[in-house]
Structure 1
Amino acid sequence: ESPLWLNVLFSCSAETVGNTEPSIVSVEVGESVTLNCTSALIDKSKTAYWFKHRLEHKPQEVGYKLGEKNASLLNPFKDSKSGFELKKVGSWVSLSIKQVQKEDEGMYFCGSISENSVNFSTGTFLAVSDHFNISVLQTPALQSVPPGEAVNLQCTVLSEIRSAELRVFWIRSAAGSSFPEIIFTHHNSSSSSSSSRQCEISSSKHSSVYNFSPNIPNNHHAATYYCAVETCGRIIIGNGTTVDLRNWIFYLRWLLSWLWLWV
């Protein structure tokens, strides 16, 4: 039998709404995290929901809150040692995890349901890293390019794990997009066989540099690009590089004024 929220979804109009969280949040095991959703509870007639979704799995309902009533968590989140909690803060319904575990990793999104409308946030991906000593550094933090040109992104990975056992990929998170998307993967020479053997940790640091040059033809590609490293079942995400389109009119005016000085 289909859950109530699915029945409601197909019987009324649906709309995607924004939330206050960045599209990707990275924490370590044992840390606490709070995800907020300003649109989840607008008035007393609406029921606010939180969901979790992992790749190749069905969405799971974390819990819900009906108007002024107490929030209810559903299993397995209710009995999880992570300490899930739903709380109303003003018009927000926040989802807190007191001690994040690796299995808590995934996409979290909130929604509100009333008699004739369903609203969902675009979602926040919660990336959980263990206490592996891996650093992912991206440069630059901000890059501006004219439309149609490529942008040069660089990712430096410093780890105790051999680079052949790391899967490095790039994620694009554009404003207004439903979910972040994987757009490029670096293939290491032994990546096809490394997944079948245990991760080998060495006492020395290994430094690897990965370059990526995507073309930025329009505003859809002007986004934040994250370098992500997957190893031993864990994902570590870099600080991100925000790419925007240079104001072409301003650039043209500057170029004309420069040429005028030399005429």
Structure 2
Amino acid sequence: LVSAGAVDIYQGQSLVSVRSGEAVTLNCTLPDQYEDVLWYKQPLGQIPQEMALKGRTMDTILYPGFQNSSIKLERTEKHISLTIPHTTKDDEGIYYCATSALKIISFYKGTFLAVRDDSQFNVSVLQTPALQSVPPGEAVNLQCTVLSEIRSAELRVFWIRSAAGSSFPEIIFTHHNSSSSSRQCEISSSKHSSVYNFSPNIPNNHHAATYYCTVETCGRIIIGNGTAVATG
């Protein structure tokens, strides 16, 4: 049997973005009464795959498809982490922490891991500032600079909000370009720089969240470094 969110399992981040080659650690907080904890990976458009299991004995079992990988699991009484030492684009997907008890597997909502491979794709996304603090009810000024060898009219730029404890990141705004309906994916010999500004109002009940400037072009998605927004 499989259940979703039926027990007190907590994955703090709904979206994590890293550059290809960087290490990443995904964390999960869980009740201490469970013998076995599992990690699942769901590549985009596919079903979840069993990656690894770690029991109270601290033995790690890697499942087929991951037995030759360099992933590492660390477990304490109420915490388990999954580390990928050198990420590649193939690591992109949704990662689920799950517990197994009485033949029932319980999942939490998952963390989407985005792996940026900017060097091969000729698109760079830079966000400023990295951290913003604003009073509740006021607007926050976010800025995104896109440097690419693809004309700005052929880029789709949108903003994603990722809040701790939310189910999945949500798209909250899209910049519309004049020729977005007929993007050709043409590479030019020179780089183009475009600046995108976004000023969302922060509600009074706002929880800490990270806003990501995201670019879609040529069948690929490039995610910026993010701006963390807190109220205070």
Alignment RMSD: 3.1
**Aligned residue for 2:194?**
208
**Aligned residue for 1:167?**
156
- CA shift, 1:156, in A, is 0.8
In the alignment, the residues of structure 1 paired with residue 51 and residue 220 of structure 2 have an alpha-carbon distance, to the nearest angstrom, of: 22
In the alignment, the residues of structure 1 paired with residue 170 and residue 116 of structure 2 have an alpha-carbon distance, to the nearest angstrom, of: 20
Task: Return 67-76 or 215-224, whichever deviates more.
Answer: 67-76
**Aligned residue for 1:244?**
230
2:90 to 103, 127, 149: 103
State the one-letter code of the partner of 1:111. A
Query: Is residue 13–residue 117 contact of structure 1 (8 Å, CA) maintained in 2?
Result: no
With normalisation by structure 1, the TM-score equals 0.72
In the alignment, the residues of structure 2 paired with residue 143 and residue 34 of structure 1 have an alpha-carbon distance, to the nearest angstrom, of: 24
- Counterpart mapping for 1:46-61 below 5 A: 46-61=35-50
1:33 to 23, 26, 29: 23
Give the 3 Å change call, closer, same or farther, for CA 183–56 of structure 1 in structure 2.
farther
State the one-letter code of the partner of 2:100. I
**Aligned residue for 2:10?**
17
Query: Is residue 41–residue 48 contact of structure 1 (8 Å, CA) maintained in 2?
Result: no
In the alignment, the residues of structure 2 paired with residue 139 and residue 229 of structure 1 have an alpha-carbon distance, to the nearest angstrom, of: 16
Query: Is residue 41–residue 67 contact of structure 1 (8 Å, CA) maintained in 2?
Result: no
Give the 3 Å change call, closer, same or farther, for CA 139–97 of structure 1 in structure 2.
closer
Query: Is residue 152–residue 214 contact of structure 1 (8 Å, CA) maintained in 2?
Result: yes
- Counterpart mapping for 1:1-263 below 5 A: 7-9=1-3, 13-19=6-12, 23-28=15-20, 31-39=21-29, 42=32, 45-68=34-57, 70-78=59-67, 83=69, 85-91=71-77, 93-97=80-84, 99-115=86-102, 120-130=107-117, 131=119, 132-194=121-183, 197=184, 199-220=185-206, 222-246=208-232
In the alignment, the residues of structure 2 paired with residue 38 and residue 151 of structure 1 have an alpha-carbon distance, to the nearest angstrom, of: 30
Query: Is residue 42–residue 93 contact of structure 2 (8 Å, CA) maintained in 1?
Result: yes
- CA shift, 1:41, in A, is 8.3
In the alignment, the residues of structure 2 paired with residue 129 and residue 176 of structure 1 have an alpha-carbon distance, to the nearest angstrom, of: 24
State the one-letter code of the partner of 1:37. N
- CA shift, 1:128, in A, is 1.8
In the alignment, the residues of structure 1 paired with residue 73 and residue 141 of structure 2 have an alpha-carbon distance, to the nearest angstrom, of: 42
- CA shift, 1:157, in A, is 0.7
In the alignment, the residues of structure 1 paired with residue 168 and residue 104 of structure 2 have an alpha-carbon distance, to the nearest angstrom, of: 21
In the alignment, the residues of structure 1 paired with residue 165 and residue 14 of structure 2 have an alpha-carbon distance, to the nearest angstrom, of: 12
State the one-letter code of the partner of 2:3. L
Give the 3 Å change call, closer, same or farther, for CA 237–243 of structure 1 in structure 2.
same
Indicate the structure with greater strand content: 2
Query: Is residue 136–residue 206 contact of structure 2 (8 Å, CA) maintained in 1?
Result: no
How many residues are aligned here?
A: 229
Of structures 1 and 2, the larger Rg is shown by 1
Q: Unpaired runs of 5+ in structure 2?
A: none
Q: What fraction of aligned residue pairs are identical, expressed as a percent? A: 57
With normalisation by structure 2, the TM-score equals 0.80
Indicate the structure with greater helix content: 1
